Amino acid sequence: MIKKFFITGTDTNIGKTFVSQILLKKANQYGYNTAGYKPVSSGCKKTSFGFLNNDAIILKKNSSVELNYQEVNPVAFIENAPPHILSDIYTQEIKIQQLSLGLKNIMKKSNWILIEGAGGWYTPLSYEKTFSDWVKKEKLIVVIVIGIKLGCINHAILTEKAIISDKLKCGGWIANNIFPKNQYNHYYIQTLLKYIKSPLLGIIPYFKNKNYINLNEIKIKLPQ
C-alpha cells in the first residue's frame, strides 16, 4: 500500500520544508522507499543546472528513491510570489492534470510520498482553483505544520476546520518552534492541544543551524 501525505501550513515561512525533510529522514529509517514531491514552487535560485527551487532540492536530497528535479518539481516559477499570480503574468497555466500525472509517476517508484504544498491550505493555483481542490481530487491525508508564533492558534484552528469541512482526513499536526523559545510557547502548544482534534505528531525544537539535524533530538511520529 502506498502512503501519501500532503503537508500544509498555517502560513508561509513556517518551516514546511524543514519539517518535511525530518519526516522523510524518519520514514527512511523505517525502511520505506520515500519520495518528496513539490508540485508547484515559486522562488528559484540560479545554479549550474539552471534555476532550481531550494525546497524541491531539499526534498529530492532526502528522498530514498532516485528522482530527477523535474519529477520532484514539475511546475516552478523563478520569482518568489503567489503561484497563481505568476501563472497569470507569464501565461503559464498550472494544470491540475500535470500535478496528478507527476504524482502518478512517483507512485511507480515510492511507497511513502510526502507532498509539500505552497503557503497555506487555500493557496490559489489559479483564479478558479486552490491547492486544496487538487488535494481533494487525490484524496490525500493532510498534515498541518504550525509555526509557533503569535496568531498561530487562530490559523491552526481555521486550517483544521477547513480540512475537515473538505471531507479529508487530517493525519495530525506538528508544532514547529520557528523562533528561540519564549515564555509563551508552552502555552501556545497547550492551547492547540485543547482545540485541535487531530493528533499531535511531534514538537520540533528551535534549530539555529538547520543544516545539521540530529533526529535523536526530535521526538516525532509518522502520520498514519
List, as residue ranges, the binding site for Mg(2+). 17, 55, 116
Q: How confident is the model at residue 53 (pLDDT cuts 50, 70, 90)?
A: very high
Indicate the pairing of strand 50-52 with strand 45-47.
antiparallel
Please report the pLDDT score of residue 213 as a whole number.
77
Give the residue-averaged pLDDT of 131-147.
98
List, as residue ranges, the binding site for substrate. 42
* Whether 2 contacts 43, CB under 8 Å: no
Q: Catalytic positions, please?
A: 38
List, as residue ranges, the binding site. 13-18, 42, 55, 116-119, 176-177, 211
Helix/strand/coil percent split, the chain, to 5: 35, 25, 40
Please report the pLDDT score of residue 182 as a whole number.
81
Rounded CA separation 8/2 (Å): 20
Residues in the chain: 224
Tens of pLDDT, residue by residue over 155-202, are 999 999 999 999 999 999 999 999 987 889 999 999 999 999 999 999
Give the residue-averaged pLDDT of 197-212.
89
Please report the pLDDT score of residue 49 as a whole number.
85
Instruction: Look at the domain 3-217 and name its fold.
Output: Rossmann fold (3.40.50)
Q: How confident is the model at residue 94 (pLDDT cuts 50, 70, 90)?
A: very high
Give the residue-averaged pLDDT of 137-163.
97
Q: Is the pTM of this model over 0.85?
A: yes
